[in-house]
Structure 1
Amino acid sequence: MPLPTTGPLSYGMQLPIQSQSALYAEGWEAAATPADLAEIARTADRAGFAYLATCDHVAIPRRLAGAMGTTWYDPVATLSFLAGITERVLLMSHVAVVGLRHPLATAKQYATLDHLCGGRLILGVGAGHVPEEFQVLGADFEGRGDVLDETIDALKAALGPEEYPEFEGKRFSFSGLGQLPRPAQERVPVWVGGSSPAAVRRAALRGDGWLPQGDPRDKLPGQIARLRELRAAAGVEAPVVIGAITEPLYVGEPTWSVGRRTLTGRPQALAESLRAYAAMGVHQIQVRFRSRSRSELTDQMAAFAAEVAPHLDR
């Protein structure tokens, strides 16, 4: 179920609560419950958000726990839970560290998820960055870039329409092994996360979409141009969905300190600022709202959808 590459900017969000890094988690999330997560997902579904996204870490070492926290919900379990309580919003892994697992195991999980949710999956993938996770699972950290490239190719085969998918690579090979159910989509979109030169190349050559990781606005046009050059040079003609993670947002004038990087103000002014992403060639923006409670977050989401989104025409 691909997102459009024409028309107004699409907007989605990475869910709070399911990952609680000190870099972005709000204070109220630590005591939040599955009911809070469910209400946020339902709000996004009602308000026209294009997708909801979840992260992927298996275990965080003590040396990183201060910055990253250890709260990281499993993406397949979380997205499956959300699939049962939503109707139209797309469900995305942002990003699945697929090099930690054999591609057939990954394909079994995500094919089942896509089958159950009626074809609403976007499989976002990335290389990962925590050596201890790879080591404890017996995965190759030093070679994770090459592993990810081959895993993407293997997943495209394993998530296709064939009951008995076939793939032969340097690390992974399979044939004669049936997997049902198949995904509801004929072809599950694979979006590549990351902003390093290797990640941009991977997105250009293998991705149906690109998920940059925190590129500032002034760097994005050059990155997008490079991705398009690589894609053209390789003869890849299919459209690619280009994304961006926006600055934190607050619709209206906050009465509390939301941080100097946060975009605030009238809906029309916020929309004008966000339309600059479209001018760069971005198709979808991932938004995040400052909030002090679940209710403030869902109010912000509803206000954005009702008051800002109508002005996001390119």
Structure 2
Amino acid sequence: MLTFPPGQLAFGIQLPVQSQSTLYAESWEAAAGPAELLAVARAADQHGYAYIGCCDHIAVPRRLAGAMSTVWYDPVATLSFLAAATERVALLSHVAVVGLRHPLASAKQYATLDHLSGGRLLLGVGAGHVREEFDALGVDFEARGAVLDETVDALKAALGEEEFPVFAGERFSFADLGQQPRPAQRPRPPVWVGGSSPPAVRRAALRGDGWLPQGDPREDLPPKIARIRRLRESAGLAEHPFTVGAIAEPLYVGRPAWDVGRRTRHGSPASLADTLRPYRDMGVTQLQLRFRSRSLDELLDQLALFAEQVAPRLA
């Protein structure tokens, strides 16, 4: 199972192009496509990033399309496409809204991805937030938290080492149904749980192998990390590997010649390392990065500069 041990800080990225919410997409992404995705994935692979991430929405309602856009690539198809063009970088669904699908169907897709990629899957899951998406697919939006709880348990069973997994829950039950190929990771791929609400944090602590907070300011992270530790200790899970994630503020390595925005952290490699070190000190073990850029070439330069000049200062 892929893990990120305490005391170290691994760096990953959410891929551009594959989701184009106005909250973070750069203007050049609107005209980009497979070639640009390939270039970024290969750069992340080459420069030692821990993972590349892909989001998940099946459909976006008109009322949200202005802010969210309707550009949301399918994570399994996208990560499979990129797995064939890379060698070592892990493949993260951040996050798959797995409650919209039967867990056996999701297990089949993600087990195949892990098998084909040689054990590089990081299965990030979340409850979802778009009511119309649930309504269109006939899934109870109000019960999405409870559905996700059971789905996580079912996925852990279905992605384990048994060819004929057994699971019995309130909503899903399966037995005597074999699935191959099996995942390459043993005993199974990790399941990271996304979300920052109290139920999501509890779900991550008690059911997950990691936590993916959703844009929390860094000052909000320590009490939530402490709560995860308490919950895991009380449940007898403290000795099991667990990955604590965070999403950093937007970054720009160097002195920008353009307006990168008030929230963006920028400066010399040494100053950026100083800016990011508190994440490691509070117990974060994987940090998701997003670099400001005006073009694909600028993004590729930023990926290289961070890996070569900032990351070594945080080793």
The TM tier, using the shorter chain, reads: over 0.9
- How much does 1:149 deviate? 0.3
Identity over the aligned pairs, expressed in percent?
A: 70
1:23 aligns with 2:23: yes
Distance in 2 (alpha carbons) for counterparts of 1:4 and 1:244 = 13
How do 1:29-44 residues align onto structure 2 when only pairs under 5 Å count? 29-44=29-44
How do 1:226-237 residues align onto structure 2 when only pairs under 5 Å count? 226-237=227-238
Query: What is the letter of the counterpart of residue 216 of structure 1?
Result: P
| Number of the residue aligned with 2:218 | 217
| Number of the residue aligned with 1:268 | 270
How do 1:130-141 residues align onto structure 2 when only pairs under 5 Å count? 130-141=130-141
In structure 2, relative to structure 1, the CA distance for the partners of 1:235 and 1:8 (3 Å cut) is closer
Aligned residues: 313
DSSP 3-state at the match of 2:216: coil
| Number of the residue aligned with 1:91 | 91
Query: What is the letter of the counterpart of residue 82 of structure 1?
Result: L
User: Which blocks of at least 5 consecutive residues in structure 2 are unaligned?
Assistant: none
- How much does 1:218 deviate? 1.0
Query: What is the letter of the counterpart of residue 49 of structure 2?
Result: F
- How much does 1:8 deviate? 3.2
User: Which blocks of at least 5 consecutive residues in structure 1 are unaligned?
Assistant: none
- How much does 1:259 deviate? 0.3
| Number of the residue aligned with 2:253 | 251
Two-structure CA RMSD over aligned residues (Å): 0.8
Distance in 2 (alpha carbons) for counterparts of 1:283 and 1:144 = 28
DSSP 3-state at the match of 1:242: strand
Contact map agreement 2:7 2:280 (CA 8 A) in 1? no
| Number of the residue aligned with 2:8 | 8
Distance in 1 (alpha carbons) for counterparts of 2:68 and 2:229 = 33
Distance in 2 (alpha carbons) for counterparts of 1:151 and 1:195 = 18
Query: What is the letter of the counterpart of residue 34 of structure 2?
Result: P
| Number of the residue aligned with 2:192 | 191
| Number of the residue aligned with 2:129 | 129
- How much does 1:3 deviate? 2.8
| Number of the residue aligned with 2:207 | 206
Distance in 1 (alpha carbons) for counterparts of 2:3 and 2:86 = 18
Superposition misfits of 4+ residues, deviation over 2 angstroms: none
DSSP 3-state at the match of 1:37: helix
Contact map agreement 2:12 2:50 (CA 8 A) in 1? yes
1:222-259, Cα deviation, whole Å (9 max, x unpaired): 11111111111111131211011000000000000000
DSSP 3-state at the match of 1:274: helix
Distance in 2 (alpha carbons) for counterparts of 1:179 and 1:207 = 22
| Number of the residue aligned with 1:153 | 153
TM-score, reference length from structure 2: 0.98
Distance in 2 (alpha carbons) for counterparts of 1:167 and 1:3 = 25
Contact map agreement 2:111 2:183 (CA 8 A) in 1? yes
- How much does 1:140 deviate? 1.5
1:78 aligns with 2:78: yes
DSSP 3-state at the match of 1:222: helix
TM-score, reference length from structure 1: 0.98
Distance in 1 (alpha carbons) for counterparts of 2:118 and 2:95 = 21
DSSP 3-state at the match of 2:192: strand
| Number of the residue aligned with 2:283 | 281
